[in-house]
Structure 1
Amino acid sequence: MECGLPSKQLVSVVGGGRQARNVEVGSKLWSLDGTRTVQTTVVGISAVKAREVVDVVTDRVTFTVAPQQELHTAEGWVPAVHAAGTMIAWTPARKLCRVRPAIVAGYEFGYFIGATCADGTVGKNYVSLVVNDESFAMRYAECLTEATGLAARLEPVTRPSGFLGRDVPGFRVRVVSSYLSDALRQYVGGDAHHMRQRFPRVVLRDLCTFEGFLDGYVEGDGFRHKKWDGRTVVSANVPFLQELALIIGARFTPRPKGTASALVIADRWPARGTFTAEWHPLEPVESTWVEVRDARLRRAAGTKPFTLYSYRLDPHPGFLVNGHLARQVW
């Protein structure tokens, strides 16, 4: 059974794409383990001649493999020649080289998530917070670094004040990390806009993490009462507050549409016994499914056959071809 890749087909090698003929024993290739990207090592290479290959056309790109080269579809491993109409595992090849910080749950992680949900901005490849309070910005930077290991520092900035009609001084914390921004979008349901974000249930891992979330969220969108033991958060995102109210066992009545609603968080809320720990992954999902639109057989022109390269890998048998998951059968 002929498997493998023609000599000029790009393989997702750690450090950048490389033609199949230039992959060596000891090279590290990118693979997928479930929805996470992982690395695997080439421990053996073989090459065979063949007269036919298949051009696999997906939603993202066209790549070429042997007709019997197995691709990972939603139904299991399928030979490329029979892959048309299936959905195959894919991850953006351009994101493979990014740094993947180790995200750690705990109070600091919860605070970072809460403050970001309240006052932060999640961009395509960055996370930032701009506030007037220097101590708030400093605490946010410290918690971000503690939870992710990414270096975060304060920058003095100015921003316009609609109330005062002039620019006012403030402080910005900003880290560039597409991995972290992808994780934050995943935590809040895919859309990090403050009016559309969902409650990040990832902070329900334990009470310590959730308390950190409450402190960070109140710091940005709430205040502590002076005459009694409790805090109030204010937001126009009613579904977000409704879900939070259920977790802390509080009553919540939304204000009329278009105005901000308030949720009271009494300091004694843990005594109600409504908190239930939940486990949710901290790492973002890095793969998805793309459709194979066509699988076209192509014969070698003239007398020169194709040279197909196969790899024996350890510890993961799969590897990425232009971001699409394939595997070798030995």
Structure 2
Amino acid sequence: MRYIPLKALILTLLKELGLAFLLLLGVSFVVFAILYAAPGDQFNVLLEGQLPTEEARAGIREAIGTAQTWYGQYSSWLLNVLSGNFGTSVRTGLPVAAELLNVSLNTLYLTLGSMAVTLLIAVPIALYSSVRGHSVVISWPLTMLGYVISALPVFWLAYIAIYISIHSFDFFPLASMSESQGGNAWLYTLVPVLVLGLGSGTISEVIRNLREEMTRVMAEDYLRTARAKGASVWRHAFKEGLLLPVTEIIASKIPFMLGGAVIVEQIFNWPGMGRMAWQAAQDRDFPVIMGIALVAAAFVRAGSLLQRMVCTAVNPQQARD
């Protein structure tokens, strides 16, 4: 049995964590610079549409810290974040960290659930196609079905799902999560997950990449030897032909899943980061926008970290690349 390269895993983890810190630092600076240079202000939100006097403006600037220079504002924000304080929402007056914790978990559930839907559909099709070839009866129709589904826009699928839910199940999937009670409550969480999983455009990519990798691995000499000896071919092909491509695709598709989640959360009234980001952008709630940008970047980097750790566990040489 092959041992797990613990030293290589630790080195890879430390390297990826260092890169993640630099990435988050760069993302925070770029987002802050964009928000600082953006036209308009936050006074209309804070004063609820009232015409602010110059004294009121000065008081607001002092309260939210915008009276400082841009580098002073960024430095203060960065020091607060390093201590765990993401600031206070301009609109709600609540700590940004507490609000982000709730919505990020909802978005994480939506993203992971949709990825599971994608893999449950794409992986069996890819495996069957790689083993049986382009069968006209089964393999080719299934592959084409996967490509057609991937070509459908996520917003179109969302409205189709709403129509079917209302007319076929007598269920309205746009109620808030707290209002979803009774026997159909599970549908409220299932419908957005299915829509994002089917409409993210990932199914066709998984089928294509996984089929190519499995076809290549199945043709390797060591698998031919294993097959001749009567050993399990799937056990030998699992790591290189299935595990590595799947983790690589998951890591690369997380940004697209998060982008699709913004649309899905808006349409289905899902209390996640995408919906909160949309509202924060309308309200010019800069602390919330900064916090969401950091969490989204952390999600993306976590996917990359997972992919690197799996690659290192399967092939320690990856840690030296």
Q: Of Structure 1 and Structure 2, which has the larger fraction of its residues in helix?
A: 2
Short-chain TM bin = under 0.3
Whichever of the two has the greater Rg, that structure is: 1
Q: Of Structure 1 and Structure 2, which has the larger fraction of its residues in strand?
A: 1
